[in-house]
Structure 1
Amino acid sequence: MSAELKKTKITPFAQKLTLPLIKKKIKVLQINLGKRCNLACTHCHVEAGPQRTEELSPEVCKQIITLIYQFPQIKTVDLTGGAPEMNYGFKMLVEAAIATGKQVIVRSNLTVYFRDECASLPEYFAKYKIRIVASLPYYLADNVDEMRGGGVFGHSIRALQWLNQLGYGKNPELILDLVYNPKLPTDQRFILTPQQTKLEKYYKILLKDNYAIIFNNLLTITNIPIGRTKLYLEQKQLYTNYLKFLESKFNSNTVRGLMCWDQLSIDYLGNVYDCDFHQVMKLPAKTLSGTTITVNELLANSSLDVINNVETADYCYGCTAGNGSSCGGALNSQVS
């Protein structure tokens, strides 16, 4: 093996852990409804876009609704995509979760509200007190448009103002969170997400002063090297070095906060994973006997708690580097 390969060799993530990740009682059901989206963001790990047609089928949607009704241990139903609002079964899943007293999170790109078929969504979300987690990777137009497409920042601002008018960010029952992602690197000067609480203060000041926008929380999320991010890094010949950078920033204090402990991630085909990243990379969750799992099998077994160990991969370093990263933002506020 060459000196360069030895230098960039990645330590298997599992070797960094002092104990295996033993699955806890499932509380969160995250559902990826499909890859249909009105945007094609450069950092999208799902590789969603306007040309994608993959989405939830009526059969799988029915199975997931049965799952939501059958298991009161589920506290949160987290809907993502693509643009989840554009994919089959969206409102059916929202209303099943509401009917069973679960918190509903919708991961929205904001611009979808300006599609004719989605124009009533802000009022719909307010009616059902849906928590909105909205992508706004920066507070400056040039940065956002570069990552997500021309004009996206302007549409996002209009959407946020619309949500504010409905009470989001003001009414304690109408939670509006924003998501920050770093720009993709152009060279080996890699960076992690800034300290979340400090960046949140900048966001709140600038958005309020410039656009009269208020929101609840900022969630900082690291670019995980999968999907379009991985393709970009490979094209720039940065992929292995970026992984090595993430490994070098491994922070054991983040492990206890990882989202995969008590979450199931379900794809539009009904397959089950520990997290959305494993879903993209087709690394399925497994039972103790090593068999993979589907929603139908969870129903047949009358249990959500059939997974023993959480699967791991090299890209898990993205969730545990620096402040840590999850669908709920940073995992450790102590790292600057």
Structure 2
Amino acid sequence: MSFSDSIMSFSERVKHNLPKEKIDILQINLGRKCNISCTHCHVEASPKRTEELSEIACQKILKIIELFPQIKTVDLTGGAPEMNYGFAEIVRVARKFNKEVIVRTNLTIFFENNYEYLPEYFADNQLRVVASLPCYLEGNVDKQRGNGVYNKSVLALQKLNQLGYGYDPNLILDLVYNPVLPQEKKFNLTPRQDNLEENYKKYLKDNFQIKFNNLFTITNLPIGRTKFYLDKFNLTQDYLRFLEANFNSATLPFLMCRNQLSIDYLGNIYDCDFNQMSGLNAVNHQGKKLTLDDILDSNSLDLISQIRTEDYCYGCTAGSGSSCGGALL
């Protein structure tokens, strides 16, 4: 069901034609356990959540990573992925089979008991670190993510730099920008990624001697806590209209859902993490909801012909586009 009846549904906009391409990325949401609780989190993760990857699902994921050479990247997210079951074992197997492994970290996890080892572990395994830092200014970060998060993030980034991240070509450190959520009907697209990256790099270098590789700008989609927030200020429909008004068809070939499978902690499959959080399962050509068992039984990753969409997909296709890897254009 669409959030708003006053806009053209996304499926109509793309003429019900958004075909899946050959899968080369597995994005695995290991669970909703997290050490912090961010206002924009579409996963609704927090220290109170207990959902995490099941042992059965973990074993199936390991088998799939081993069986399919076409998988180039294993992308680990959460929650705080490091806190959830299966993290270390998936890293071990993925690296054994020469997959790029991305860990989407909130940085503050480095300062929690029993997780102080993570920076060295990341470096030892040459994990690509994609770290949330929704602004380079302290006030905006702490507003979204909690008091003290900015200072901890700075210390974490400095530690990663000391280990070679941002300098060694095998130790990639990327940052993620999310816009501040509005409280009135005044919406803006995410700034140009290249310009904002320059600002981030200058500010963090000048003030903290921090170096990183890339900045990813990600649009807030009206899902999870972002939707709760927009609903609170009666802005959800207006925000969707804004995104629709800025729809850019040139982004469609580059959408992350085209060549990615998103897997939840129970082993269900989705086209993307946003669909996962909305409960919009991926289906095969017969309309059957797909799971890890279907991949193993058919010995194929490429079971999806048509991507399922919702009106929040306008968020990924507005302006320069948005994905887990930042702007699309």
**Band of TM-score, shorter chain:** over 0.9
Q: CA RMSD in A?
A: 1.0
Residue 19 of structure 1: CA displacement? 6.6
Structure 2, unmatched stretches of 5+, are none
Partner of 1:64: 61
Establish whether residue 82 from structure 1 lines up as the match of residue 108 from structure 2.
no
Pick from 140, 143, 147: which aligns with 2:140?
Answer: 143
Cα offset for 1:18? 5.2
Distance 2:326 2:285 in 1: 30
- Is 1:235 paired with 2:228? no
Percent identity reads 59
Deviation, structure 1 residue 128: 1.0
Compute the displacement of 1:204 (Å).
0.2
TM-score when normalising by structure 1: 0.96
Residue in 2 that maps onto 1:15: 12
- The answer to whether 1:209 aligns with 2:206 is yes
Which of 280, 298, 310 lines up with 1:313 in the alignment? 310
Retained in 2: the 8 A contact 1:8–1:244?
no
Q: Which residue of 2 aligns with 1:255?
A: 252
Query: 1:323 corresponds to which residue?
Result: 320
Separation in 2 of the partners of 1:20 and 1:121?
Answer: 42
CA positional deviation for 1:8: 6.6
Instruction: Name the residue aligned to 2:103.
Output: 106
| Alignment deviations for residues 186-237 of structure 1 (CA, whole Å, 9 cap, x no partner) | 1000111000000000000000000000000000000011000001111110
Q: Is the 8 A contact 1:36 1:83 kept in 2?
A: yes
Q: Secondary structure at the match of 2:174?
A: strand
Count of paired positions: 326
Contact 1:8/1:241, CA 8 A, preserved across alignment: no
Cα 1:76–1:24 shift into 2, 3 Å: same
1:299 corresponds to which residue?
296
1:3 is matched with none
Q: CA deviation at 1:256?
A: 1.0
Deviations 1:105-157, CA, capped at 9 Å, x for gaps: 00000000111211111101101110000000001111000000000000000
Q: Secondary structure at the match of 2:220?
A: coil
Show structure 1 runs of 5+ residues with no match.
1-6
Distance in 2, Cα, partners of 1:104 & 1:324: 24
Query: 1:30·1:77 contact (CA, 8 Å) conserved in 2?
Result: yes
Q: Aligned AA for 1:56?
A: L
TM-score, normalised to structure 2, is: 0.98
Alignment of 1:133-282 (within 5 A): 133-282=130-279
Cα distance in structure 1, aligned partners of 2:219 and 2:270: 20
Structure 1 stretches of at least 4 aligned residues deviating more than 3 Å after TM superposition: none
Match in the other structure for 1:4: none
Could you report, residue by residue, the CA deviation over 1:284-309 in whole angstroms, capped at 9, with x for unpaired residues?
A: 00000000011122111111111110
Q: What letter matches 2:230 in structure 1?
A: L
